[in-house]
Amino acid sequence: MSGTLATVAAATMAAWLFTLGPIGTRSDEHYGTEAAAEYEAWLKEHRNAAAVVSSCSPLRTGLDLYGRPGYYSCAVRSTTRCVLIYQGVTDFGAMSRAECTRLAND
């Protein structure tokens, strides 16, 4: 009985850990929305008070298996920009999603 209980407890803990827990991830849509809001706030504070970020798409590197990724391809007006959001915002400027992916994986 205790072996079965331990197995159930371990399975429940593993399910929590990989879905809702600290190793788990939210959807990339959630991270993109969160990043767009952070990037827009940063743009308004540092560069352009009228900036509007319409969307950000997470770019996962080989190290971004779980959790929030660092790199995003963001649409600002009609321009796609490459952005790193980690301990602040680093804007690498206008570049395609493919170029940004290469930068993220270097």
Residue pLDDT, tens place only, 73-86: 999 988 999 999 99
Give the tens place of pLDDT for each residue, 7-40.
876 776 666 555 555 545 578 888 999 999 999 9
> Which residues in the chain belong to E strands, given as ranges?
53-59, 71-76, 79-85, 89-94
User: Is residue 20 within 8 Å of residue 30, measured between CB atoms?
Assistant: no
What does pTM read for this prediction? 0.72
Residue 38 lies in a domain: yes
Burial of 29 (0-12, 13-18, 19+ CB in 10 A): exposed
What's the token pair of residue 105? 């994986």
Residue 81 lies in a domain: yes
Residue 14 lies in a domain: no
Residue 69 lies in a domain: yes
Is residue 101 pLDDT above 80, yes or no? Answer: yes
Residue 2 lies in a domain: no
pLDDT at 21: 52
Higher pLDDT, 2 or 39: 39
> For the chain, how many structural domains are there in total?
1
Per the structure, the complete domain to which residue 61 belongs is given by 26-105
Residue 17 lies in a domain: no
User: Is residue 91 within 8 Å of residue 83, measured between CB atoms?
Assistant: yes
Residue 89 lies in a domain: yes
